Chain A
Amino acid sequence: MTQLPNSTDRKMGLVIDLDTCVGCHACVISCKGWNTENYGAPLSDQNPYGGDPSGTFLNRVHSYEVQPEQGHAQLIHFPKSCLHCEDAPCVTVCPTGASYKRVEDGIVLVNEDHCIGCGLCAWSCPYGARELDLAEGVMKKCTLCVDRIYNENLPEVDRIPSCVRTCPAGARHFGDLGDPDSDVSKLVAERGGMDLMPEMGTKPVNKYLPPRPKDTIEEEIDILAPLLAPVAEEPQGFMGWLDKALDKLPGGAN
């Protein structure tokens, strides 16, 4: 049913650390790999080796430049996938009941056997988390690796989403954001985790940890700095003569 549950027992989701992400796209590839071989229809590619390749992905990494009013610009890598919103507009717009939010863990899923591929859920998602698979004609989205996290055939260490398991930088964290004592909730509290587009009223479960402030370089780097300063402000000796001689030649920039 496309009515959202009033509340879910748990709020499973991801915490993505924008300070740590190095933009390697490993999460993108592992997501595509796992979700092509497992749950639901495979993530197809169109014209993958041709001139205009494209395909279905459930996770994509953008890169943004942030230029503060003062100081240097900063480059921030920005992985983006379904945020498993509490007030998920993609669920309520679905005309067939194919889109639903699970009561037990809050994961937003698509029943691919009921999806008519109208695309309205993708229209209603501000984050671009849903993509219509052109080969299958059904809507694809992040399942939070629902076929891994409860899968007792996997070693316990692997019972987390593929993107989290793969991230070499430890920038992705998985857990229950509804439990204030969980590791992810503590991380969010400690680092000031934020919502994307809060004005849309979607109440995302996934949180993003903002980049930590950059170190500021003081005028004196260390105690040796004064000793390393140039001894003479004005050139003297041979260099002084050369400087003056070159100044007298025509054609200088000044």
Chain B
Amino acid sequence: MHPAPSVIIFTTLSGLGFGLLFFLGLGQPAVTGTVAFVFYVIAFGLACGGLLASTFHLGHPERAWRAFTQWKTSWLSREGVCAVGALIVMGLYAIGAMFLDSQWTLLGWIGAALSLATVFTTSMIYTQLKTIPRWNMELTPAVFLSFSLAGGALLAGAEAVAPWLLAIAGAVQLAYWAKGDKALEASGTNLGTATGLGDRGAVRAFEPPHTGSNYLLREFVHVVGRKHAQKLRMIAFVLGFALPLLLILTPVQGVVIKHLFAALAVISHLAGVATSRWLFFAQAEHVVGLYYGKR
């Protein structure tokens, strides 16, 4: 799949933003006033920035409101509904925390649930696609949810759970890569089933339908950069999980150093997740590539 920057930025930032909103909704940390203001600016900035970025790849962004109508069948529509719901509920909760010095617990819980639901629905947009076996696995929602929770815990400064969530997210990432590498073969789809000619012999793409490229090849057959996949996986794993874990577990003296280390952990995690998300797209093989003798 073509790793479109808009979608990588969207899933990375909004995942982190909604992860932070989840923890804020649970009252972790239970902030009010100016401190709350800073937390909510970061959370809403990430979540909304990501959502805005996602509209950049639309052919007609001015019609985006229509995407809220088909929640009965479409995960993309459900994501839109959950995202707007989460932002409204958490917006009200934030007003209470920032200006009225109060924590409306029930509202916070609803907002937290909607934030997590947004991340889940995002993941299901990818998971539902049988055409991309590497995404069509239970581990895909696990990746999105565990990354979001780990990032949210890091940003929220939830010291008790952050190391555990980071470790879980790292493990999920490794499992996703291991299983994903075998997904296309395990799906049973190949040029033989694609053409229906597989039981007659070995099928080979002899001649493409056209000499130039097309939308399908540009969108679904991305092979540039796959050769660096193993190195990028190392970078994604170290920056995303190993280094942040090291940074928050290292015992340090002084509040300034502690905050500096926490900030570094967040930046490192963000860079790692962005790298992982790039791989998520670039390594995903769409079965339509088979028709062109590619993957």
Contacts and interface: CB of A to CB of B under 8 A. Distances in A.
B73 A64 contact: no
Contact of B196 (A25, A94, A136, A194): A194
Given A68-B200, A68-B201, A131 B214 contact: yes
A196 B196 contact: yes
Nearest to B71: A95
B197 A53 contact: no
Contacts of A66: 197, 200-204
Contacts of B105: none
Given A1-B70, A92-B73, A95-B67, A199 B196 contact: no
A2 B76 CA distance: 12
In which size bucket is the chain A interface?
35 or more
Contacts of A52: 212-213
Nearest to A139: B59
Interface centre among A94, A118, A137 (most CB of B within 10 A): A118
Interface residues of B, number: 58
A26 to B, nearest CB: 13
Contacts of B73: 2-3, 91-94
B188 interface: yes
Interface in A147-195: 194-195
B209 A61 contact: yes
B56 to A, nearest CB: 11
A35 interface: no
30 contacts: A53-B212, A57-B210, A61-B209, A64-B191, A64-B203, A65-B204, A66-B202, A66-B204, A67-B202, A73-B201, A80-B209, A92-B74, A93-B128, A94-B73, A94-B74, A95-B66, A96-B77, A98-B66, A116-B66, A116-B67, A119-B57, A126-B194, A126-B287, A132-B219, A134-B215, A137-B59, A194-B196, A196-B194, A199-B193, A200-B130
Interface of A: 1-3, 18, 25, 28, 52-57, 60-69, 73-76, 78, 80, 89, 91-98, 114-120, 122-128, 131-132, 134, 136-139, 194-201, 208, 210-211
Given A116-B63, A116-B64, A137-B58, 15 more contacts: A1-B70, A60-B209, A62-B292, A64-B191, A64-B205, A67-B202, A80-B209, A95-B70, A123-B132, A123-B286, A125-B131, A138-B60, A197-B194, A210-B197, A211-B200
